[in-house]
């Protein structure tokens, strides 16, 4: 394999781009900054595809590992990927250029700062997905708070200050306990290197408490019921591009964290708390679906649907079955694409009408036929119609759940029905019916760039819906390796106790 530090490049390129933009000037007429940042993020996307191309699916260990001494004798800068993380990296590099592309007249002031924030965000998110040291992971994980706080706070809607504060303080509160846990892991195991910790394992008697500390951070970020309340607020107030980043990638950091750290490092803790996670996930699925039904604001509805979908994800992860885990990863990727697209769709009509209230719309199929078709694709994707990625994810998760616990699976299935209900109902109220509101008559259909962005999102969502093989193949070996490790650990533990 080649010797270029490709992962570090992936992390650094957006930051360097952001610095470049920060120190250059742009004219009103020709906005070079936007093109530069699109260029940079596309380069990153190409790099990540190159990474995927060179990635060895059959190898369960970490690949492209880079290691440098960072704090002597204590923490190493260590990055590497396996089948699970590579998909999230590609998701990140895929969504970011689209995000930047979608930035238009709505970001009126300080476009430059906005682009800088998004690019730095990209760096940090890629860092989260490939760091193999707990401290490095924490740095990336928490560092993301700063740009996101600014994105919501500066370019957000009316209640942006409240939402930005809520977002920041909730997540910070969740993660301080994780920091204590990370430091404690260092003192009991002598290292924070994830690969080494996988090998030597963590003393069983500490696993439950450490699991809880990590859980507190990931649960807030996922978000799981009952700490999900920051998400609707943050989504509603964030600008479209911010919502897209938040839904598509930021939420996935926690799901990824569950797989990589909670299950990987604390098998005994995870096993102990399975029921707990099941209960919270089921509440999230059913309760937030019901809440979504009652929403009057489209963005809020999609935000609540995100919570429900992430409920499926956590459920699938903790079934600890091959199908459940693959399904969860698939669901995260699928949700990343579909929710991004849905937020963009809401953004499209918001930019025309400056309202997201569902009842102000109705019958816009008459004036916006193209929009209606595209929104249809993503609505069906969100409710998990066969032929879209949403279906594969939910289906695999439910198979996994049935293998583990019949009752849980049955209850979760109701969530699927509710999901169909609120998505279709929203679609009906917005698109069909009679065109009552006079203002709507002047609506203009999608313009070229909007069509390009949304089509680019629709293609993978349909393609992988019909042909999920490439994604499943990539994760398969890593997931089975993870599950084998997990079971081996549990066996040792039970044998030890007997």
Partner 1 sequence: MITDIYYVIPEIFLSLGLMFLLLLGVFKKNGSSVVYNLSILILIISVPLILNVPTSVELLIFNDSYKIDYLSSFIKILIVISTLFVLLTSSQYLKSIKIFNVEYPILIISSIIGMMVMVSSNDLIVFYIGLELQSLALYVLASFNRDNILSSESGLKYFVLSALSSGLLLYGCSLVYGFSSSTNFSQISFNYDQSTQGIIFGMVFILVGLAFKISAVPFHMWAPDVYQGSPTSVTLFFAILPKIAALTVFIRFLYTPFLNLIDQWQSIIIFLSIASMLFGAIAAIGQKNLKRLIAYSSISHMGYALAGLTTGTNEGIQSSVCYISIYLVMNLAFFSCIFMLKREDKYYENIEDLAGLSKNHPLLSFSFLIVLFSLAGIPPLAGFFAKFYVFMAVIEQSMFFLAIVGLLATVVAAFYYLRIIKVIYFDDEVDKYDTNLSIGLKLSLIITTTLILIYFIYPNSLIDLVSKINLV
| Binding residues for partner 1 (CB under 8 A) | 70-72, 109-110, 113, 135, 138-139, 142-143, 145-146, 149-150, 153-154, 160-161, 164-165, 168-169, 172-173, 176-177, 179-180, 183-184, 186-187
Quick one: 73 or 448, whose CB is closer to partner 1?
73
Nearer to partner 1, 71 or 495 (CB): 71
CA dihedral over 315, 321, 324, 325, signed as positive or negative = positive
Report how far apart, in Å, the C-alpha atoms of 185 and of each of 139, 214, 219, 287, 394 are: 16, 11, 20, 35, 34
Taking the least distance from each CB to partner 1, the nearer of 14 and 311 is 14
Q: Shortest Cβ distance from residue 269 to partner 1 (Å)?
A: 17
Of the candidates 31, 209, 100, the residue with the CA atom closest to the CA atom of residue 456: 100
CB of 75 to partner 1, least distance (A): 9
Which residue's CB is nearer to partner 1, number 149 or number 427?
A: 149
Q: What is the biggest distance separating any 2 CA atoms in the chain, rounded to whole angstroms? A: 75
Residue 114: which region, alpha, beta or left (left: phi > 0; alpha: psi -120 to 50)?
A: alpha
Sign, Cα dihedral of 402, 406, 412, 414: positive
Report d(CA 236, CA 164) in Å as an integer.
Answer: 11
Q: Nearer to partner 1 by C-beta: 192 or 305? A: 192
The least distance separating partner 1 from the CB of residue 112, rounded to whole angstroms, comes to 9
- DSSP, res 222: T
CB of 69 to partner 1, least distance (A): 9
Rounded to a whole number of angstroms, the minimum distance from the CB of residue 168 to partner 1 is: 6
Q: How far is the CB of 162 from partner 1 (least distance, A)?
A: 10
Distance CA 282, CA 302 (A): 18
Q: Measured from the CB atom, is 74 or 406 closer to partner 1?
A: 74
CB closer to partner 1, 143 vs 387: 143
CB distance 232 to 174 below 8 Å:
no
Least separation in angstroms between CB 109 and partner 1 = 8
CA separation for the pair 46, 51 (Å, rounded): 9
Q: Is the CB of 53 or the CB of 72 nearer to partner 1? A: 72
Closer residue to partner 1, CB minimum distance, 167 or 225: 167
Neighbours of 126 (CB within 10 A): 28
CB of 22 to partner 1, least distance (A): 9
Q: Nearest Cα to 311, choosing from 291, 297, 340?
A: 291
Give the integer Cα–Cα distance in Å for 288 and 308. Answer: 6
For residues 6 and 164, which CB has a smaller minimum distance to partner 1 in the complex? 164
Shortest Cβ 146–partner 1 spacing (Å): 6
The length of the chain in residues reads: 498
> Between β-strands 63-71 and 75-81, what pairing exists: parallel, antiparallel or unpaired?
antiparallel
Q: Is 148 helix (H, G, I), strand (E, B) or coil?
A: helix
Helices (H), 74-203: 83-102, 111-130, 134-143, 145-155, 160-189, 194-200
Q: What angle separates helix 134-143 from helix 111-130, to the nearest 10 degrees? A: 160
Closest CB to partner 1 among 24 and 455? 24
For the bound state, the minimum distance from the C-beta of residue 150 to partner 1, rounded and expressed in Å, comes to 7
Q: Could you tell me the smallest distance in angstroms from the CB atom of residue 176 to partner 1?
A: 4
What is the full DSSP assignment across 36-103?
HHHHHHHHHHHHHHHHHHH--TT--S-EEEEEEEEETTTEEEEEEE-HHHHHHHHHHHHHHHHHHHH-
Check residue 384 and give left, alpha or beta (phi > 0: left; psi -120 to 50: alpha). left
Q: How far is the CB of 180 from partner 1 (least distance, A)?
A: 5
Give 110 or 428: the residue with its C-beta nearer to partner 1.
110
């Amino acid at each position: 394999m080649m010797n270029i530090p490709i992962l570090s490049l992936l992390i650094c390129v957006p930051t360097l781009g952001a610095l470049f933009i920060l120190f250059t000037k742009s004219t009103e007429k020709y906005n070079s900054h936007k093109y530069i940042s699109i260029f940079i993020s596309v380069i990153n996307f190409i790099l990540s595809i190159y990474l995927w191309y060179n990635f060895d699916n059959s190898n369960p260990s970490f690949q492209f590992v880079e290691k440098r001494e960072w704090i002597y004798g204590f923490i190493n800068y260590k990055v590497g990927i396996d089948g699970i993380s590579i998909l999230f990296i590609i998701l990140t590099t895929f969504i970011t250029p689209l995000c930047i592309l979608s930035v238009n007249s709505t970001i009126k002031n300080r476009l430059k700062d906005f682009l800088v924030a998004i690019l730095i965000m990209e760096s940090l998110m890629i860092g989260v997905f490939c760091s193999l040291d707990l401290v490095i992971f924490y740095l990336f994980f928490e560092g993301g708070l700063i740009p996101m706080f600014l994105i919501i706070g500066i370019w957000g809607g009316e209640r942006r200050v409240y939402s930005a504060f809520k977002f920041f303080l909730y997540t910070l509160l969740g993660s301080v306990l994780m920091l204590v846990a990370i430091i404690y892991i260092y003192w009991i195991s002598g290292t924070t290197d994830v690969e080494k910790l996988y090998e030597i394992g963590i003393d069983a008697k500490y696993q439950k408490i450490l699991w809880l500390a990590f859980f507190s951070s990931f649960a807030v970020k996922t978000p799981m019921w009952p700490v999900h309340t920051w998400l609707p607020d943050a989504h509603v107030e964030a600008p479209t591009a911010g919502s897209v980043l938040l839904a598509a990638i930021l939420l996935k950091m926690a799901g990824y964290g569950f797989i990589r750290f909670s299950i990987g490092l604390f098998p005994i803790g995870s096993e102990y708390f399975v029921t707990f996670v099941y209960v919270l996930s089921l509440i999230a699925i059913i309760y937030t679906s019901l809440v979504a039904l009652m929403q009057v604001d489209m963005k809020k509805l999609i935000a609540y649907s995100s919570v429900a979908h992430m409920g499926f994800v956590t459920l699938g992860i903790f079934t600890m079955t091959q199908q459940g885990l693959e399904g969860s990863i698939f669901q995260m990727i699928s949700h990343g694409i579909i929710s991004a697209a849905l937020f963009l769709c809401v953004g499209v009509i918001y930019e025309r009408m400056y309202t997201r209230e569902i009842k102000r719309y109705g019958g816009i199929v008459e004036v916006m036929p193209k929009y209606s078709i595209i929104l249809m694709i993503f609505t069906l994707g969100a409710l998990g119609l066969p032929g879209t990625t949403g279906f594969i994810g939910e289906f695999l998760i439910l198979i996994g759940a049935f293998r583990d616990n019949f009752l849980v699976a049955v209850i979760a299935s109701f969530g699927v029905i509710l999901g169909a209900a609120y998505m279709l109902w929203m679609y009906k109220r917005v698109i069909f019916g009679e065109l009552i509101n006079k203002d709507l008559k002047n609506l203009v259909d999608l313009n070229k760039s909007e069509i390009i962005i949304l089509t680019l999102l629709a293609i993978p969502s349909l393609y992988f819906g019909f042909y999920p093989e490439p994604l499943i193949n990539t994760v398969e070996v890593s997931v089975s390796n993870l599950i084998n490790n997990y079971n081996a650990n549990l066996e040792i533990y039970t044998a030890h106790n007997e």
